[in-house]
Amino acid sequence: DAGVIQSPRHEVTEMGQEVTLRCKPISGHDYLFWYRQTMMRGLELLIYFNNNVPIDDSGMPEDRFSAKMPNASFSTLKIQPSEPRDSAVYFCASSLDNNQPQHFGDGTRLSIL
C-alpha cells in the first residue's frame, strides 16, 4: 500500500519567495495533519483537517502560512513570503480518525536562504 506521499523532498529557495509543499494522504484516511520539526522545538502540529475541512489551525505560526485541502487526496501548505526562520522539515500525516495512529510521509526539508 502506498503511504503518505510528500513533495518535494527538498526545497531550497531565497527569502521572500513563495513555497508550496504538497501531500497525498493514504486513501480512506479522514484526517490529515501538517507538522513542522526543528531541533529547537521538536515536532509541532501546525494544522489538521477532517474530511477536507480545517479543524484547528492554532499552530500555524503566522499569516504567511496557509493550508488547503481541496479534495480527499491532496493538501498543500503554502508559505508566502518565506523567511529564513521557516527553515525546517515539514511533515504531513494522515489517520483513519483522530484516535488512531498517524502515518507520516518522509517530509520536505525546506531551506530558506
Partner 1 sequence: SQKIEQNSEALNIQEGKTATLTCNYTNYSPAYLQWYRQDPGRGPVFLLLIRENEKEKRKERLKVTFDTTLKQSLFHITASQPADSATYLCARMDSSYKLIFGSGTRLLVRP
Are residues 35 and 93 in contact, defined by beta-carbon separation less than 8 angstroms? yes
DSSP assignment, residue 41?
Answer: T
Q: Per CB under 8 A, which region of 16-24, 67-75, 80-88, 104-112 contacts partner 1?
A: 104-112
Q: Taking the complex as a whole, how short is the minimal distance between the CB of residue 106 and partner 1, in angstroms?
A: 5
Residue with cell 493550508: 67
| d(C-alpha 26, C-alpha 62), whole Å | 28
**Taking CB under 8 A as the rule, does residue 102 contact partner 1?**
yes
Q: For residues 84 and 66, what is the distance between their CA atoms, to the nearest angstrom?
A: 17
CB of 109 to partner 1, least distance (A): 8
List interacting residues with partner 1 (CB under 8 A).
4, 33, 42-43, 45, 48, 56, 58-59, 91, 93, 98-99, 101-107
